[in-house]
Chain A
Amino acid sequence: LAKTTQPISMDSYEGQEVNITCSHNNIATNDYITWYQQFPSQGPRFIIQGYKTKVTNEVASLFIPADRKSSTLSLPRVSLSDTAVYYCLVGERLNSGYSTLTFGKGTMLLVSP
């Protein structure tokens, strides 16, 4: 059973706001929601993390409803360079007691001129 579900792909034009929604129905009480971005031939890059309500940084905003069963990554005024795969992740608790990341298939965002 996938921990997260998100669209396989999305298309947008430059200058538009893009919202990518992720479902995580079985999120644990102490899990954080984290989003990563990955360009071809590069490793994933941390974008934003949140637990509840809204988080904003210089790159994106993350909206989390009260039930925390979903989250929405919002990218304001995208540019061509935002074309990438975006991953929504919730934590995975290891037997060691530490946590790591579990990657799903991600959402391929294509930004066109």
Chain B
Amino acid sequence: EAGVTQFPSHSVIEKGQTVTLRCDPISGHDNLYWYRRVMGKEIKFLLHFVKESKQDESGMPNNRFLAERTGGTYSTLKVQPAELEDSGVYFCASSPRGGAYEQYFGPGTRLTVT
């Protein structure tokens, strides 16, 4: 069974540019979560989808971040325009219905904004 995949593995962009991160959850998992770890900090929750519906985005830092989950399958997280403080590792996780605590994480996308 394929795990959670994320693309790209690493992205380096300049301040002001736009970047789109993609996450493909495990097939059949209704729940999809985005987290991020910025330099020296803990992993922080960003938002949660159930299928295509955005349930909670209380962790999104500001309106430069936009997440979508097309058709309840893969998800994208767009940062526009990127700022230096957006640098970090962005993790995606998925879980089956009712499985909030046993989440399956992807390898993460390392975003570097210069």
Contacts and interface: CB of A to CB of B under 8 A. Distances in A.
Given A41-B107, A43-B4, A92-B45, A98 B56 contact: yes
Interface stretch (A6-14, A16-24, A66-74, A99-107): A99-107
A96 interface: yes
Main SS class of interface, A: loop
Contacts of B45: 92, 100-102
Contacts of B58: 94-95
Interface residues of A, number: 23
Interface string B49-61: 0100001101000
A43 B93 contact: yes
Interface of B: 4, 31, 33, 35, 42-45, 48, 50, 55-56, 58, 91, 93, 100-108
30 contacts: A32-B101, A34-B101, A34-B102, A41-B107, A42-B108, A43-B107, A44-B43, A44-B105, A46-B104, A49-B101, A89-B101, A94-B48, A94-B55, A95-B56, A95-B58, A96-B48, A96-B55, A98-B31, A98-B48, A98-B50, A98-B55, A98-B100, A99-B100, A100-B33, A100-B56, A101-B33, A101-B35, A101-B45, A102-B45, A103-B42
